[in-house]
Every structure is written in structure tokens, then in C-alpha cells.
Amino acid sequence: MLWGGLYGVLHNRVPFFTKAAGLPFAVAFTVIGDEFMNTVLGLTPPPQEFPKEAHIRGAVAHYAYTATADGVFRTLEKLTA
């Protein structure tokens, strides 16, 4: 949920992140969240211990999450305008 909130905060402040329904944010979400923070916090083993399919699946899931957050944000923005 933190990442969705962060996307909402950054949506209008950093327009680059909203390109292609949030694809740049999803990439950052994947790299920073999955590949870096989970390892640093000791939540998962290092990225190289997972098969490439796991990384691809995670990236696709993060894009789906971000695209949904983008759609919700844009819909709420229209409703409140």
C-alpha cells in the first residue's frame, strides 16, 4: 500500500512517472522495492538466487499494480474536478 500512496503523491509532481500508465514508476518499484530493499532489509535472499522468470513475473505484477493505481488516481481526479 505504501507504493500506491507514493505513486499518488508523485503523480502530479513527477509527470515522468505517469508515462504509459506508470511504467517508469513500476520499473523503479521493481528495482528499488524487490531487487534492493527486500534484500537490504533481509526479507529475501539476493536477486541472483531467484530464476529470471521470478523477476519477470514480479516486474509484470508491479506494472499491473501501478497501471491500476494510475487508473484509480485519474478517475478520482476527474470526479473531484
pLDDT in tens, 21-51: 899 999 999 999 889 999 999 999 999 999 9
Predicted pLDDT at 2: 85
pLDDT of residue 3: 85
Hey, where are the domains in the chain?
2-80
**Average per-residue pLDDT in the chain?**
92
39 C-beta neighbours (distance < 10 Å), count: 15
Share above pLDDT 70 across residues of the chain, in percent, rounded to a whole number: 100
Residue 59 makes CB contacts below 8 A (sequence gap 6+) with 26, 27, 30
Residue 34 CA neighbour count, 13 Å, CB half:
20
pLDDT the model gives residue 52: 95
User: In this structure, what DSSP letter does residue 46 have?
Assistant: -
Q: Select from 7, 2, 28, 6 the least CA-distant residue to 74.
A: 7
pTM: 0.82
Q: Which three cell numbers stand for residue 12?
A: 502530479
